[in-house]
Amino acid sequence: MRTVEISPPAKRYYSVVPAPTSTSSPTGSETATIWREESSAAEPERLPLRNAWVEINLAQLRRNFRLIQADKPAALKLMSVVKDDGYGHGILEVARMAVEQGATHVAVSTLHEAMILRDAGFKSPILLLGERHDSELPWCAAHDLTVCLNDATTAEALARAAARASKRVPVHVKVDTGMARYGVRWDAALPLIEFIAREKSLLLEGVMSHFSQSDEQDKGYARLQHGRFLEVLEGMAAAGIAVRHRHICNSGGFLDLPQAHHDMVRIGILPLGVFPSQVCRRIEGIRPVMTVKTRVSGIRTLHTDECVGYGMHYRAADKRRIAVLPVGYGDGYPRLRNKGQALIAGRRAPVVGGNAMDATMVDITDIPEAGLWSEAVLMGRQGHEEITARDVAQWKGTVSYEVLVGWRSRLPRVYLDE
């Protein structure tokens, strides 16, 4: 096993940096600003690792990408979605692994995310999903970002910014086929596509859409959306407009809708070892990359009728042995009341009472080997037992995606390659 050693960061804060003072600033964008992470001091003395942390298994991430590559048709391109800090796994680590394992593009949601990659020397194509404000467009042109376009007004503004920078900016037109979020409606898309194709400062590189229900058993609405996407592609063909990339599939679509693969698919959660639903197709060997751990920081004895935690939500029916875990909803662990479990000594310890911002209590009466500073797993595998992101999501009443991105940055990330 190789452990990638991490150093505690310097004290950091987010500040608005005026574009003219930034080394990354595009020429002529004096009014543009970007959120950038700044260090307020020199590196401090090394601190001990906190007794709650997130482990990211880079070897498993590598295996997952290789399994996906082996599963897909050889000509199908992969775009790796690394938004929201790589779904909580680390944007740089996931993006680098994706490209190392053959992804041709990565996708993010914010300009800040794109600039983290570019400032780290990341050279691969980066697609900016969603909508862009005019103030962001000079940055897109200056740093060779691929822009998702949804309307003619933004297309015109981007063309002007590209012309000022003497650049030709690649764009992907987003077509709304029924999700009603971003994109030009499928029945009004062709005029926008034709306009972009004529603009000398824009390169019409791709056309895309997004499934709203690709990982459910019933694929009826997904087939309807794909049919609308095909209508747009047929209209383009009739108009003599060709693009390099056509993509509508997310992870669920990649797994279950091969007829909709086209030239490229966008995968986000799948390489991280989490399947988008219980019913979608499985690829054997794909396993979760993230494990969330802590240590027992206190042990208490409850006698009959005594309570633990805020709100007195748990009352002991008899003598119980309770472990305190130094992690809570301030770290992204759900706000639970007598629900959920942790793994200690390879066994399940139920959460008791209502957990706090910095503390969660579990019952270890039936785990006599559990002691002070014993390791506890909040999400992941220990021995023969496993708590999945889906388990945590069910306790919280949400989806696995929110659980993954919800682990906050005050939990240190430790990267392992084993």
Please state, as a whole number, how many other Cβ atoms lie within 10 Å of the Cβ of residue 44: 11
Res. 43 pLDDT band, cuts 50 70 90:
low
pLDDT at 263 over 60: yes
Of 2-6, 88-92, 259-263, 291-295, give the lowest mean pLDDT range.
Answer: 2-6
pLDDT score recorded for residue 45: 76
The closest alpha carbon to 137, from 110, 162, 167, belongs to 162
Say which CATH class 58-272 falls into. alpha beta
pLDDT score recorded for residue 58: 97
Q: What is the length of the chain?
A: 418
- The secondary element (H helix, E strand) that includes residue 295 is strand 290-295
* Over residues 196-205, mean pLDDT: 98
Of 32-36, 111-115, 279-283, 331-335, give the lowest mean pLDDT range.
Answer: 32-36
254 neighbors 267 (Cβ within 8 angstroms): yes
DSSP of 143-173, one letter per residue? TT-EEEE-SHHHHHHHHHHHHHTT--EEEEE
pLDDT score recorded for residue 363: 98
Report how far apart, in Å, the C-alpha atoms of 56 and of each of 19, 366, 417 are.
34, 30, 8
Res. 24 pLDDT band, cuts 50 70 90:
low
Structure confidence by residue, pLDDT tens digits, 207-227: 999 999 999 999 999 999 999
pLDDT at 375 over 70: yes
339 neighbors 385 (Cβ within 8 angstroms): no
83 classed as catalytic: yes
DSSP of 360-386, one letter per residue? EEEE-TT-TT--TT-EEEEEEEETTEE
pLDDT at 26 over 70: no
CA distance 332 to 407: 4
Instruction: Give 238: exposed, middle or buried? Use CB within 10 Å, 0-12, 13-18, 19+.
Output: exposed
Res. 37 pLDDT band, cuts 50 70 90:
very low
Within 8 A by CB and 6+ apart from 48, the residues are none
* Over residues 96-115, mean pLDDT: 98
* Over residues 284-295, mean pLDDT: 98
Of the residues 83, 167, 219, 396, only one is catalytic, namely 83
Please state, as a whole number, how many other Cβ atoms lie within 10 Å of the Cβ of residue 372: 11
Of the residues 11, 14, 310, 319, only one is catalytic, namely 310
CA distance 72 to 102: 12
Res. 46 pLDDT band, cuts 50 70 90:
confident
pLDDT at 16 over 60: no
pLDDT at 53 over 70: yes
Please indicate whether the domains covering 58-272 and 290-387 agree at the CATH topology level: no
pLDDT at 1 over 70: no
pLDDT at 340 over 90: yes
Domain spanning 290-387: which superfamily? Answer: Lyase, Ornithine Decarboxylase; Chain A, domain 1 (2.40.37.10)
Structure confidence by residue, pLDDT tens digits, 114-168: 999 999 999 999 999 999 999 999 999 999 999 999 999 999 999 999 999 999 9
322 neighbors 364 (Cβ within 8 angstroms): yes
Q: Which two tokens stand for residue 125?
A: 């194509």
Res. 47 pLDDT band, cuts 50 70 90:
confident
Query: What per-residue string of b and e applies to 190-200 under the rule 16 or more CB within 10 Å gives b?
Result: bebbebbbebe
pLDDT at 8 over 90: no
CA distance 281 to 329: 33
CA distance 154 to 175: 15
pLDDT score recorded for residue 28: 46
% residues pLDDT > 70 (the chain): 89
CA distance 307 to 361: 11
Domain coordinates of the chain in residue numbers? 58-272, 290-387
Mean pLDDT of the chain: 91
219 classed as catalytic: no
CA distance 227 to 210: 12
pLDDT at 32 over 50: no
CA distance 109 to 124: 16
Res. 42 pLDDT band, cuts 50 70 90:
low
291 neighbors 53 (Cβ within 8 angstroms): no
The closest alpha carbon to 395, from 347, 332, 346, 344, belongs to 332
Local structure of residue 25 (DSSP, 8 states):
P
* Over residues 15-42, mean pLDDT: 42
Of 30-39, 181-190, 346-355, 409-418, give the lowest mean pLDDT range.
Answer: 30-39
